[in-house]
Amino acid sequence: MISNRELFLKNTAQTSESPRLIEIEKAEGSYLYGPQGQKYLDLVSGFNVSNIGHRHPKVIQAIQGQLDKYLHVTVYGEFVQAPQVQFATKLLENLPSSFGSVYLTNSGAEAVEGSMKIAKRYTGRRQIIAAKNAYHGSTQGALSLIGGTQYQEAYAPLLPEIDFIEYNNLLDLDTITEKTAAVIVEAIQGEAGVRVPMAAYMQALRARCTAVGALLIFDEIQTGFGRTGKLFAFEHFDVVPDILMLAKGIGGGMPLGAFVAPKHIMDVIKANPMLGHITTFGGHPVSCAAALASLDVILEEKLIEDVERKAKLFRQELAHPKIKEIRGLGLMMCLQVENFHQVYSVSKYCADHGVMIDWYLHCETALRVAPPLTISDDEILEACQVICTAIDKFC
């Protein structure tokens, strides 16, 4: 019989020459399980998705409840679907009052596309500014925002009138002018290797956007839903963006994204022409039921309150002379080593010894550590021991 691994390589599209090829049969809590009894402590969380762990019972219950009612019924924005309405309402209750409207999408990239569209329509301007080394997704619009990387050249032509600033550099803010429709930045740059900006930078960025009438759009697709020790990372900086883009951890493991804006900004997609952003599956009712349950879990189980303490425990246990720096905020962490060979060898050793870690798209010299927020202290100790042994061996 042909194995699933062979069929994976033969029949499903490959995104690299060297996929990790780890086969998963089941996932529960902080663990992934393979078909031959392998057990991996998951420090990647499906790339910041499984913030409340895998298959949280309350999410499973919400999904099952929705399965008994309806699945897809129509395109987004026509029928009144309780899971969408209830989730959007709960989300807005937990955001500053300037936000008044939630558009639910399939993915992060779609949230980015929608945000760029409303920014252009609302301001009547065309220029969008993004940060070098950003990652906002893989559709052609979102890919246009990856400054100065090989992806831009490979898929040219991308969107016109995109300009770039250096992230966290106060001296670059003059690039933002009265011509700028929006500035799109990650609240913490993830794929650049977890770059946490200065609060003073975020505040100056906010002030500059306000002064020239440009919209400030934060990508919280990696940082949202408790990951950094606040429900949203912008809370660390005492700054409120005009538009917020969400995905990944939003759905408790189900596919969902959103862009959130003040109602008068969001309303521009209603007319001239109407239906300015259309999505068939965006805000799928099962995903929204899961998202509502997941947000309830984050808030009711007070997961955020323990994030900083767990992050400290990680930092204490990973204090190893060969780890040059641990960057990050809360449980969005990055262990800086010297080269990709070390990153690859350490990741492989860890996987072979039951701990899943990974690396970053624009920073191949650092290890990605982003466990479920529900990870226990014992699991943290166990994971750090394996990582330190691997660092001893390969760095």
Rounded to a whole number of angstroms, the minimum distance from the CB of residue 225 to ligand PLP is: 13
For residue 113, state whether it binds ligand PLP (rule: CB under 6 A).
Answer: no
Torsion of CA 325, 330, 331, 337, to 10 degrees: -10
Total interface residues for ligand PLP by CB under 6 A = 14
The widest CA-to-CA distance across the chain, in whole angstroms, is: 65
Residue 260, interface with ligand PLP (CB under 6 A)?
no
228 binds ligand PLP (CB under 6 A): no
Out of 247, 250, 288, 387, the residue judged to bind ligand PLP by CB under 6 A:
247
> In 3-state terms, what secondary structure has residue 215?
strand
296-315: buried (b, 16+ CB within 10 Å) or exposed (e) per residue? bbbeeeebbebbeebbeebe
Quote the least distance from Cβ 109 to ligand PLP, whole Å: 3
- Which of 83, 141, 147, 190 lies at the binding interface for ligand PLP (CB under 6 A)? 190
- Asked if 109 is part of the footprint of ligand PLP (rule: CB under 6 A), the reply reads yes
Candidates 172, 219, 242, 379; binder of ligand PLP (CB under 6 A) is 219
Q: Which residue number places its CB atom closest to ligand PLP? A: 108
**Taking the mean position of all CA atoms in its chain, how far away is CA 381?**
25
3-state SS assignment for residue 304: helix
Minimum CB–partner distance for residue 41 and ligand PLP (Å): 22
β-pairing verdict for 215-219 and 180-186: parallel
Q: Is 253 in the site for ligand PLP (CB under 6 A)?
A: no
DSSP result, 1-61: ---HHHHHHHHS--SSSS------SEEEBTEEE-TTS-EEEESSHHHHT-TT-BT-HHHHH
257 or 371: CB nearest ligand PLP: 257
Phi first, then psi: what are they for 332, rounded to 5°? -110, 95
For the bound state, the minimum distance from the C-beta of residue 79 to ligand PLP, rounded and expressed in Å, comes to 24
222 sits near ligand PLP (criterion: CB under 6 A)? yes
Pairing of strands 257-261, 39-42: unpaired
User: Which residues would be at the binding site for ligand PLP (CB under 6 A)?
Assistant: 47, 107-109, 135-137, 186, 190, 219, 221-222, 247, 257
